[in-house]
Structure 1
Amino acid sequence: MAHCRAIRLLLSIFFWLFFVLSSTVLFLGAVLVWLVTLPFDRDGRVLHLYSCFWAQLYFYVNPLWHLRVDGRERLPWRGPAVLVANHESLGDILVLFGLYRPFKWVSKAENFKLPLIGWNMHLNRYVPLVRGDKVSIAKMMRGCEYWLSRGVPILMFPEGTRSFDGQVKPFKDGAFTLAMKMKCPIIPVVLTGTARTLPKHGLVLEAQSHCHVQVMPPVDPAAFPDVPTLREHVRDLIIAEQARLDSRASAPPGA
């Protein structure tokens, strides 16, 4: 056990050193991509895809992390959609960049203050949110409506914050209100295995993490009478799919 902890500690040190050094270099690359593409890519689609590579690089180089993405073909390259995902870990952000499709994040405003990572979020014009602040929430909704009107999907965590026990928390209305108002589909995205990527407390990485992203079929909000009905339907879909994926992951080989 002590030997395993020592190996994890060593890998964690190398990982975080690589993270800091690579982020410095990759942010400079992001500035260059932003400058070159700004005249013809007003929505920042190319920069977002570059950011996807930046985030996925840490899966490519980390032998402890493995990622599988299914259903990516259900996501639009162009056209409005509201993507909603369950939220277990900070690692969810790295994992969801693995979708490699254009979208704008809705993220906590404090994340935009982070060196390098937060600066890149500003370049990408992701949408900041101060939780519990009515003015910020209204501004966030207007920002999301703007991007949806331009045919750019947005991605939100409808739980509002991370789940500490892996159970899907109650959903907030925002994503579903947007989908109904803008008459665009909701696309549920289910994450499993991400809780073991980046720990909430401490910097030592867990043992191997096998992450799975499942993109589910789009849900048409026009088929529902109101926001609460749509919200609970999508939450039920995510809970059921998460349980199915967890069951499959824990089943013995060949079962």
Structure 2
Amino acid sequence: MDLWLAILLFFLGFLLVLYNVSADFNYYSRISFFYFTILLHGMVCCVTMIPSWLKTRGADHVFEGFYYWCKWSGVHTTVHNYEGGQIEGSAVVICNHQSSLDILAMCSVWPHRCVVMMKKLLAYVPFFNFASMLACTIFIDRTNRDKAMQSVDYCVSEMKKRDLKLWIFPEGTRNRAGGLMPFKKGAFNIAIRAQLPIIPIVFSDYRPFYSKPGKYFKTNGEIVIEVMEPIPTEGLTLEDVPEFSEKVRQKMLETYERISAEAKNKMENTKKLT
């Protein structure tokens, strides 16, 4: 028994040394534990989300809880104008999409009675799929245009009927290169069809502390989040979508550049203090 304990302690000590001296091992350890945390939280939410589902609270409980599950990451968030995303009634929330770490930022700014739109592929992830169903997540098939258009109509009717907000990443995919990619039109089609306001939310650049291509995930990460003022869509038609979406994107890009500089300065100041 003492021999096995000694072997275990040696192995744990070896991993600890490797964690501190190998950048690749540090990255893979932290990001793997992050995904493991998501899996565990999803399993718990399969039970704890049932009351929220019965009350049609959307994903509120999911993100409120996950905020505490990820304290170990060391990532700190600063939110500007949190109240701007808490307007009464339905709305379409749009946000830039950088990586799976977006979940960390979403926990700090999640609007009340909000649900997520996700690609249908994620509906097959064990535990995550059932928890997402309880959170009233809307899955769409991007490969099928007819079904995608049906999803737009379904979103509009469900949002108004249940008084929900809908969170969408209009870039459509993760953007690891910085800035904002061109927006897809789905979020704007939904907002204009329903004549609902759009609430833009911007996350600062993660690259000072996290990069999948660079294989680093630092413990002193800083994310600055800004909730921009709601933008009305009353009177707009689907013909206005291309111009309207680009104007919104430009405003979000200006905000992104400003708060990214703020987040970077926060990290540099933290390093000086330590």
Please give the TM-score of this superposition, normalised by the length of structure 2. Answer: 0.76
Is the contact between residue 86 and residue 191 of structure 1 (CA under 8 Å) also seen in structure 2? yes
Q: Tell me, yes or no, if structure 1 residue 93 matches structure 2 residue 103.
A: yes
Residues 103-129 of structure 1: CA distance to partner in whole angstroms, max 9, x if unpaired? 111111112211222321122121112
**Alpha-carbon distance change, 10 to 249 in structure 1, aligned in 2, over 3 angstroms:** closer
| Residue in 2 that maps onto 1:155 | 167
| Residue in 2 that maps onto 1:75 | 85
Mapped partners of 1:166, 1:111: distance in 2? 25
Aligned partner of 2:122 among 90, 111, 133: 111
Q: Tell me, yes or no, if structure 1 residue 142 matches structure 2 residue 153.
A: yes
Please give the TM-score of this superposition, normalised by the length of structure 1. Answer: 0.81
**Alpha-carbon distance change, 14 to 245 in structure 1, aligned in 2, over 3 angstroms:** closer
Q: Tell me, yes or no, if structure 1 residue 183 matches structure 2 residue 195.
A: yes
Mapped partners of 2:37, 2:85: distance in 1? 32
Structure exhibiting the larger radius of gyration computed from Cα positions? 2
Is the contact between residue 85 and residue 191 of structure 1 (CA under 8 Å) also seen in structure 2? yes
Unaligned runs of 5+ in 2: 1-17, 270-274
Q: Tell me, yes or no, if structure 1 residue 66 matches structure 2 residue 76.
A: yes
Mapped partners of 1:238, 1:20: distance in 2? 32
Give me the CA root mean square deviation: 3.0
Residues 44-75 of structure 1: CA distance to partner in whole angstroms, max 9, x if unpaired? 34xx2221034323431222x22222222112
Which one is further off, 173-182 or 76-85? 76-85
Per the alignment, in what secondary structure is the counterpart of residue 67 of structure 1?
Answer: strand
Aligned partner of 1:33 among 48, 54, 59: 48
| Residue in 2 that maps onto 1:44 | 57
Q: Tell me, yes or no, if structure 1 residue 173 matches structure 2 residue 185.
A: yes
Is the contact between residue 90 and residue 200 of structure 1 (CA under 8 Å) also seen in structure 2? no
Q: Which amino acid aligns with 1:210?
A: E
Q: Tell me, yes or no, if structure 1 residue 16 matches structure 2 residue 32.
A: yes
Is the contact between residue 71 and residue 215 of structure 1 (CA under 8 Å) also seen in structure 2? yes
Unaligned runs of 5+ in 1: none
Aligned partner of 1:221 among 233, 253, 260: 233
Mapped partners of 1:156, 1:57: distance in 2? 23
Per the alignment, in what secondary structure is the counterpart of residue 178 of structure 2?
Answer: coil
Aligned partner of 2:262 among 248, 251, 254: 248
Instruction: Give the CA deviation at 1:181.
Output: 1.4
Aligned partner of 1:84 among 94, 110, 113: 94
**Alpha-carbon distance change, 205 to 116 in structure 1, aligned in 2, over 3 angstroms:** farther
Is the contact between residue 94 and residue 167 of structure 2 (CA under 8 Å) also seen in structure 1? yes
Aligned partner of 1:53 among 52, 55, 64: 64
**Alpha-carbon distance change, 80 to 37 in structure 1, aligned in 2, over 3 angstroms:** closer
Per the alignment, in what secondary structure is the counterpart of residue 259 of structure 2?
Answer: helix
| Residue in 1 that maps onto 2:244 | 230
Is the contact between residue 88 and residue 195 of structure 1 (CA under 8 Å) also seen in structure 2? no
Q: Which amino acid aligns with 2:127?
A: L
Q: Which amino acid aligns with 1:51?
A: V
Report % sequence identity.
21
